[in-house]
Amino acid sequence: MGRTPNPSRAAPTSTRLLAMPNHAPLLPAWDDADGIRRASDLFVAAYGTAPAGVWAAPGRVNLIGEHLDYNGGFSLPFALPHRTFVALAPRADDSVRLVSDLAPDAPWTGSVDDLGPGRASGWIAYAGGPAWVLRDEGLPIGGFDAALASCVPLGAGLSSSAALETAVALALDEVFNQGTLGVDDAGRARLAAACVRAENEVAGAATGGMDQAAALRSTRGHALLIDSSDATVSQVPLDLDPAGLAILVIDTRAPHALADGQYASRRAACERAAERLGVRTLSEVDDTAAALARLDDPVEVARARHVFTEQERVRRVVDLVSAGRLREIGPDLDGSHASLAGDYEVSCPELDVAVDAARRAGALGARMTGGGFGGSAIALVDTDAVSQVADAVATAFADHGFAPPAFLAATASAPGERVG
């Protein structure tokens, strides 16, 4: 299949937040000063001394290209203004102490070796796993203390785990490796790959690399076109204001977990289909119709069909966005959701209701975003219709007996960096 051209058109950046209806809460993003204060205060309270610095990395929302990263395909995420902040300092020994704002009175204590596969679990695996991986790859990672504070919504499918991993990885690179990897895209690609290893091997989640790449390799005001076949990236200008548009993120508050086997089973089906077709990944297939005809397992047919059609949708969206025709991407957002719900079977009632209600209220297009099985949806809406769409979604959730959703404004923001 032909690869997408590298877009290069420049565009200004927008970070304007949106007015929301009174009963639909806007999840705020902390500014750097607030995040630094929260992480530093937690560090001092836990360890009695000041950190060496504070680093931050963003959550992400994926505009389109879902479940394609581990299939060697394209995805188009961008960094959110919502970030995880990590205050960190090196130690003279091999001990590691970790504390989170979610459990400030319950710090974890161990060693770098204790952060390896089969030894760390829960949030510790995400926070500490990068240390074990980076040392396994030859970096001189020693003991450290870290305090973690985040405004990335948990369980919302907005990559709170990748934000945590990449913020820690940036901190460890600077503290123990003179920051040699964080200074350019090639080094950041290596850090992202290490964080993928941490998530796969330590946390046990069979995710691809889109989330970590978005957190480390994005550029403010742009979406990040990721070609997972070779880990190359291109910056796609994403400026909504001139078109009078906004991307509304709808956090369904439905449970969202990827380590329960559902995500892994989708990946395994795609890998089986690729093996039957004699290719390394499904994105390498040229004649998709013939490929589908060769597969006889109905599950593998459905999973492969999503990969093939989603690839085409990403190409169209990149072309339209690059040409400044943002208002025309709605049908591909709709098509993506239909494919994810039907062929990939990763939607859920809350996501379907959110997408349907947003469309009925005037959204130009809407889809689930992230791995699925809960989490968030996005809606492309006219700026002056944001409140109308959010109200409609909140009302639909109440009508169905669901917990109230939350909303946030998605603007293409900065990648991970040292902030204090």
Q: What is the CATH number of the domain that holds 173?
A: 3.30.230.10
| pLDDT above 70: residue 16 | no
> pLDDT digit string (tens) for 46-61?
999 999 999 999 999 9
* Average confidence (pLDDT) over 325-333: 97
User: Residue 287: its pLDDT value, please?
Assistant: 97
| pLDDT above 80: residue 140 | yes
* Average confidence (pLDDT) over 279-288: 97
Burial of 52 (0-12, 13-18, 19+ CB in 10 A): middle
Q: Tell me if 419 is assigned to some domain.
A: no
231 contacts 189 by C-beta, under 8 angstroms? yes
Quick one: 234 and 252 in the same domain?
A: no
Of 2 and 295, more confident: 295
Quick one: 75 and 117 in the same domain?
A: yes
Quick one: 218 and 291 in the same domain?
A: no
Of 159 and 11, more confident: 159
> pLDDT digit string (tens) for 185-230?
999 999 999 999 999 999 998 788 899 999 999 999 999 999 999 9
Quick one: 322 and 184 in the same domain?
A: no
User: Residue 257: its pLDDT value, please?
Assistant: 56
Q: What is the CATH number of the domain that holds 399?
A: 3.30.70.890
* Average confidence (pLDDT) over 327-346: 97
| pLDDT above 50: residue 259 | no
Give percent of the chain with pLDDT exceeding 90.
86
| pLDDT above 70: residue 307 | yes
Residue of 69, 145, 173, 211 with catalytic role: 211
Query: Of the candidates 208, 238, 268, which is a domain's last residue?
Result: 238
Query: Of the candidates 189, 220, 238, which is a domain's last residue?
Result: 238
Model confidence at 256, in pLDDT bands (50, 70, 90)? low
* Average confidence (pLDDT) over 344-366: 97
Model confidence at 262, in pLDDT bands (50, 70, 90)? confident
217 contacts 224 by C-beta, under 8 angstroms? yes
Model confidence at 15, in pLDDT bands (50, 70, 90)? very low
Q: Give the residue among 306, 332, 334 at the shortest CA–CA distance from 319.
A: 332
Give CA separation, 46 vs 87, 380, 418, in Å: 11, 43, 21
Rounded to an integer, what distance in angstroms lies between the CA atom of residue 157 and that of residue 253?
10
| pLDDT above 80: residue 14 | no
Q: How big is the CA angle at 411 (ends 130 and 209), to the nearest 5 degrees?
A: 30
Give CA separation, 300 vs 274, 293, 307, 341, in Å: 9, 11, 11, 15
Q: Tell me if 208 is assigned to some domain.
A: yes
User: Residue 246: its pLDDT value, please?
Assistant: 94
| pLDDT above 50: residue 4 | no
* Beta strand 232-237 pairing with 144-150: unpaired
Model confidence at 260, in pLDDT bands (50, 70, 90)? low
338 contacts 305 by C-beta, under 8 angstroms? no
**Count of domains forming the chain:** 2
Report the chain's mean pLDDT, rounded to a whole number.
92
Quick one: 196 and 294 in the same domain?
A: no
Rounded to an integer, what distance in angstroms lies between the CA atom of residue 91 and that of residue 229?
39
Q: Tell me if 149 is assigned to some domain.
A: yes
| pLDDT above 80: residue 148 | yes
* Average confidence (pLDDT) over 115-128: 95
Q: Give the residue among 127, 210, 126, 207 at the shortest CA–CA distance from 373.
A: 207
Q: Tell me if 290 is assigned to some domain.
A: yes
Query: Of the candidates 238, 270, 300, which is a domain's last residue?
Result: 238
φ, ψ for residue 368, nearest 5 deg? -70, 155
Q: Give the residue among 365, 377, 368, 331 at the shortest CA–CA distance from 346.
A: 368
Please, what is the angle between helix 160-177 and helix 210-217, to 10°?
A: 60
What order of strands is seen across the sheet that includes strand 74-75?
74-75, 222-227, 232-237
Quick one: 217 and 257 in the same domain?
A: no
> pLDDT digit string (tens) for 73-88?
999 999 999 999 999 9
User: Residue 28: its pLDDT value, please?
Assistant: 87
User: Residue 27: its pLDDT value, please?
Assistant: 84
Quick one: 84 and 150 in the same domain?
A: yes
Model confidence at 155, in pLDDT bands (50, 70, 90)? confident
Full residue range of the structural domain in which residue 74 is found: 32-238
Q: Tell me if 154 is assigned to some domain.
A: yes
Q: Hey, how many other C-beta atoms are within 10 angstroms of the C-beta on 257?
A: 14
User: Residue 157: its pLDDT value, please?
Assistant: 87
> pLDDT digit string (tens) for 366-403?
999 988 889 999 999 999 999 999 999 999 999 999 99
User: Residue 19: its pLDDT value, please?
Assistant: 42
**Catalytic: 260?**
no
Q: Tell me if 273 is assigned to some domain.
A: yes
